[in-house]
């Protein structure tokens, strides 16, 4: 959007009138977190729906997956089945404000989502004692994972997988984008935006995108206060990068039109063990939704191979391409 378009958008927000900010942070703890039928119960008593894709026998590893903005646990239906076929159990839950979670369409906080992830990881690890546990975050979920493991990661976590992590913070936004967000949040926080007309392609899997458009649990219009919450979370993830200690596999698509390349690679370069226990896989034909793109099987094969042995080259060779790309951007 050019400057005139931004000005028009700002004027429109002023004419729409003020709506109250609506956020739903967790309530006070009332009982220990616990697994429940069809989900898990957080300490404040809220139940977050959860899906499980179990392997045929004892799992070789367990993945706890965290979905992206406006999505929900169904995002991992195909990846979950594919990893389960390789002996890896996959769990995914609907975060607060998404899917069948409480208060859909509204924001809780980055801290709340990170705390939920740490609690869920502890519960899943207890269910599978002695089995390595990995956290997988897609887009917004990647930012949640980064915040959750920064500094003092849950001891049960053997490693993390970040698929197109949402790390587009304010430092990488221009003054007009920041001003538009600030003004809209303070004037019309309840204004809902659809993204129509932006001509952004999140994936080359058109049939999958068509199904998402028909899924009533996928949020189609996003409140301004939720967008502001997401940007706050991305700021937190960027700040957390140097403190992300666990072994990591970061998945990046060259055709990602959602998260710009510059902040993505800049954040990757700030990971403390990049090039050692933290590695990048770069997919020249990959879009933002790497786990559901047409070449998703290649990405999932790489994830399974990295979980099996994080020191060996990836089957696709995407790690070699990432080394060249990272060197070029330093």
pLDDT in tens, 145-193: 999 999 888 889 999 999 999 999 999 999 999 999 999 999 999 999 9
**Domain locations along the chain:** 3-329
- pLDDT at position 225 is 95
pLDDT in tens, 247-280: 999 999 999 999 999 999 999 999 999 989 999 9
CA dihedral 130, 84, 48, 193 (to 10 degrees): 130
Residue 11's pLDDT band, with cuts at 50, 70 and 90, is: very low
Whether the pLDDT of residue 6 is over 80: the answer is no
CB 322 within 8 A of CB 282: yes
- pLDDT at position 155 is 86
The residue ranges of DSSP E strands in the chain, in sequence order, are 34-36, 39-41, 47-53, 61-66, 88-93, 133-138, 157-163, 192-193, 222-223, 248-253, 278-283
pLDDT in tens, 105-143: 999 999 999 999 999 999 999 999 999 999 999 999 999
Whether the pLDDT of residue 100 is over 90: the answer is yes
The residue ranges of DSSP E strands in 21-85, in sequence order, are 34-36, 39-41, 47-53, 61-66
Instruction: Give percent above pLDDT 70 in the chain.
Output: 94
The CATH architecture annotation of domain 3-329 reads 3-Layer(aba) Sandwich (3.40)
Residue 237's pLDDT band, with cuts at 50, 70 and 90, is: very high
For the residues 289-318, what does the mean pLDDT come to?
A: 97
How far is residue 285 CA from its own chain's centroid? 20
pTM of the predicted protein model:
0.93
């Amino acid at each position: 959007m050019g400057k005139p378009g931004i000005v028009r958008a700002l004027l429109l927000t002023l004419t729409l009138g003020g709506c109250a900010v609506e956020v739903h942070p967790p309530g006070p703890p009332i009982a220990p977190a616990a697994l429940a039928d069809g989900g898990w119960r957080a300490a404040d008593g809220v139940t977050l729906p959860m899906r499980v894709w179990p392997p045929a026998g004892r799992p070789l590893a367990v993945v706890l997956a965290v979905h992206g903005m406006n999505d929900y646990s169904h995002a991992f239906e195909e990846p979950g089945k594919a990893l389960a076929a390789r002996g890896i159990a996959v769990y995914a839950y609907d975060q607060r404000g998404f899917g069948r979670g409480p208060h859909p369409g509204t924001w809780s906080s980055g801290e709340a989502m990170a705390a939920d992830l740490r609690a869920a990881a502890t519960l899943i690890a207890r269910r599978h004692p002695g089995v390595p546990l990995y956290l997988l975050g897609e887009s917004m979920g990647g930012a949640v994972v980064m915040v959750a493991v920064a500094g003092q990661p849950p001891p049960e976590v053997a490693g993390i997988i970040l698929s197109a992590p949402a790390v587009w913070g304010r430092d990488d936004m221009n003054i007009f984008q920041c001003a538009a967000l600030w003004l809209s949040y303070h004037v019309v926080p309840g204004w809902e935006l659809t993204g129509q007309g932006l001509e952004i392609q999140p994936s080359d899997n058109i049939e999958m995108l068509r199904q998402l458009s028909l899924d009533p649990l996928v949020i189609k219009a996003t409140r301004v206060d939720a967008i502001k919450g997401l940007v706050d979370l991305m700021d937190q993830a960027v700040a957390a990068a140097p403190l992300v200690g666990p072994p990591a596999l970061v998945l990046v698509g060259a055709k990602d039109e959602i998260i710009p390349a510059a902040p993505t690679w800049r954040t990757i370069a700030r990971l403390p063990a990049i090039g050692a226990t933290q590695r990048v896989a770069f997919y020249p034909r990959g879009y933002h939704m790497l786990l559901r793109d047409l070449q998703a099987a290649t990405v999932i094969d790489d994830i399974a191979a990295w979980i099996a042995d994080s020191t060996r080259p990836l089957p696709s060779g995407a790690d070699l391409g990432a080394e060249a790309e990272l060197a070029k951007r330093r």
